[in-house]
Amino acid sequence: MMTIFKNYSCCLLTTMMIAISFSSYAQAPDKVLKGADPQVSNAFFKKYPTASEVKWSRIDKTILITFSSGNEFSDAFFDDKGNWLRTETAITADQLPQAVRDGLKNGEFSSWEKGSTYRVDLPGGLSNYKVFVYSKEWNELELTFDQNGKRIL
């Protein structure tokens, strides 16, 4: 009786492990950018392992990879050898550092309408901030600020 129970338990345990492994395999995200150079694909998924809704395109020698992660939507830029160049993430104006908000409020474009805002993550752990502004005549200008609110030309 004990031998039958042991065999039944072993068989049940093996079946459960196989079922779990198949369900885990089915849920694993595709970690390959189809059609992209393998070094770019590997570098991207190493940097952003939880990325979803991933799409890529080539702009000259730069690879643009659009993706989401959590509630954030980003564009990552890599060179054609897989070196990360920068990542631009859409943020709200409220998420800009206070120094950048002050620079917008007190700078030469203070009367212009504010549009889309982005955090630009750079190698070395630095971040810049990009803000699109519009004049009353709907001229568009892209302003870039460092973390201290200083405008970068």
Give pLDDT, residue 33: 79
Per-residue model confidence (pLDDT) at position 4: 44
**pLDDT tens column, 84-129:** 999 999 999 999 999 999 999 998 999 999 999 999 999 999 999 9
Q: Based on the domain organization, do 148 and 111 belong to the same domain?
A: yes
Chain segment 14-35, per-residue pLDDT in tens: 444 433 333 333 333 457 778 8
Does residue 87 lie in a domain region? no
Smallest CA-to-CA distance from 47 within 101, 111, 121, 106 is with 121
Mean pLDDT, all residues of the chain:
83
153 shares a domain with 104: yes
Could you list the residue range(s) of the whole structural domain that residue 110 is in? 92-153
- The reply to whether 98 and 149 lie within a common domain is yes
Q: Is 96 in the same domain as 140?
A: yes
Is the model more confident about 36 or about 94? 94
Residue-level pLDDT at 69: 92
143: its two tokens: 């302003």
Position 23 scores a pLDDT of 33
Distance CA 110, CA 115 (A): 12
Question: Residue 137 belongs to a domain with what CATH number?
Answer: 3.10.450.360
**Portion of the chain with pLDDT greater than 70, in percent:** 80
Average pLDDT for residues 53-77, to the nearest whole number? 94
Domain assignment of residue 127, yes or no: yes
The confidence score (pLDDT) of residue 2 equals: 44
